[in-house]
């Protein structure tokens, strides 16, 4: 007589939960690749080199900031005859369709310049259009990305219009 290899319902449930948890972690880590507070990309933001730019929006798009990173939501803008690529945030934080701007809009950008792959890129902390629209993606004072904050910190920062 062979010993029975009976799998009980609790064991099946536990194995299924463990599998789903591992899949979620794998998806999250690849989806958020390169966006951590200590990752090389975020170290490019220099709050001491803070600038303010007035520009016209050409389009909202998706880019890969650095090789191996997950995608970013970005703006293409013009300042006079100069074209500028503006990185906002990872697409999992805000997709291009979440940005309530359209081509031709006049915007004010706050942030820091960085060189990525030999090209100058503007890393935004805030985008404003007129008196009523603002998209905040980093703390102005130190460049901390909002996407690295706890839900409580994020709620506080998104409610605070003075930063």
pLDDT on residue 8: 46
pLDDT in tens, 54-63: 999 999 999 9
Six token digits for residue 146:
């909002």
CATH superfamily of 40-159: Nucleic acid-binding proteins (2.40.50.140)
Domain ranges of the chain: 40-159
Partners of residue 79 on adjacent β-strands: 82
CA distance 48 to 163: 15
- The two beta strands, 119-129 and 82-90, are parallel
Report pTM. Answer: 0.79
């Amino acid at each position: 007589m062979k010993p029975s290899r009976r799998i009980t319902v609790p064991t099946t449930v536990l194995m299924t939960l463990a599998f789903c948890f591992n899949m979620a972690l794998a998806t999250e880590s690849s989806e958020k690749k390169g966006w951590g507070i200590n990752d090389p990309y975020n170290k490019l933001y220099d709050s001491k080199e803070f600038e303010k730019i007035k520009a016209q929006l050409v389009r909202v798009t998706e880019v890969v900031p650095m090789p191996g990173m997950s995608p970013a939501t970005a703006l293409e803008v013009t300042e006079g005859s100069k074209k500028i690529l503006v990185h906002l945030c990872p697409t999992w934080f805000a997709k291009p369709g979440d940005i309530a701007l359209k081509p031709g809009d006049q915007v004010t950008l706050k942030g820091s310049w960085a060189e990525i792959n030999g090209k100058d890129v503007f890393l935004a902390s805030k985008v404003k259009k007129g008196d009523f629209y603002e998209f905040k993606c980093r703390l102005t004072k130190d460049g901390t990305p909002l996407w690295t904050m706890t839900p409580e910190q994020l709620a506080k920062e998104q409610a605070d219009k003075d930063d």
